[in-house]
Amino acid sequence: MNESAKVYLVGTGPGDPELLTVKALRLLQNADVVIYDRLVSEGILQQIPTGVSKIYVGKQTGNHTLPQDEINELLIKLAETERSIVRLKGGDPFIFGRGSEEALLLAQNNIKFEVVPGITAASACTTYAGIPLTHRGLSQGVQIVTGHSQAGRPLDLDWASLADENKTTVIYMGLANIELISTKLIQAGLDKTTPAAAIQNGTTGKQNRVLTTLEDLFVNTQGLQAPVIFVIGKVVTLAHQLDWFTEENVIEGEFVDNEKLLHG
């Protein structure tokens, strides 16, 4: 094992290169090799100096460039020869990014590593869509869940807990299951008129924002393609007033009037 080798598990945020942390940018510009995922944007890859080795290991449903086991093997192999290995991940490595799995692998193989947090989509994409995760009188907390189940297994979430009208629920990787998710939440007691949103390609110039209700979320998001996150909760009603990012590429449905939610 190369004693000077170190692996940096670096979160890049959801796309806007200006959301990179100072540390993430410094590591990128001083890396010997960069291993990157599908959701790492082109703008971020452009920050990597010419001559640095770049290895793509992106995964999407039904099409994995490298299975996770082979990515693990690659990290170990590179640590034997390279001095500074940067493992780039979209968003934050420890929020549905399998960063903790890779960190455990490195620890078990006595490979030095550091984890560099990134701004996760639940925070960045909602902010760019004009939706605060919490707001006095509208949301007292945030629930972040994955809408993607392991192969061959049904989606098993605590629907009763998620159906909380006083919290904001953010769903990652839920595009294939959003009809099921909406139905289950309504069955668990969440009002079908609860405001809901879908944000595609958040924080980038290709951002699309769909504003609708829980009942119509599936119908109004047909045609969207990953990456998409879903937001369910009263805070979605603030999207019109807080839309600072762009007024272009916006698809809007109807949802409950904000004044009625705030003042009854």
Closest CA to 198 of 160, 162, 236: 236
User: Tokens in use for 139?
Assistant: 């949301």
Residue that the structure tokens 């595009």 belong to: 175
Side-chain-side CA neighbours of residue 134 (13 Å): 6
Catalytic member of 16, 23, 32, 59: 59
Residue that the structure tokens 């390279």 belong to: 82
Give the Cβ contact number of residue 25 at 10 Å. 16
Residue 59 designated active-site: yes
Residue 54 designated active-site: no
Catalytic member of 6, 16, 37, 92: 37
Side-chain-side CA neighbours of residue 91 (13 Å): 23
Give the Cβ contact number of residue 244 at 10 Å. 10
The residues annotated with a catalytic role in the active site are 37, 59
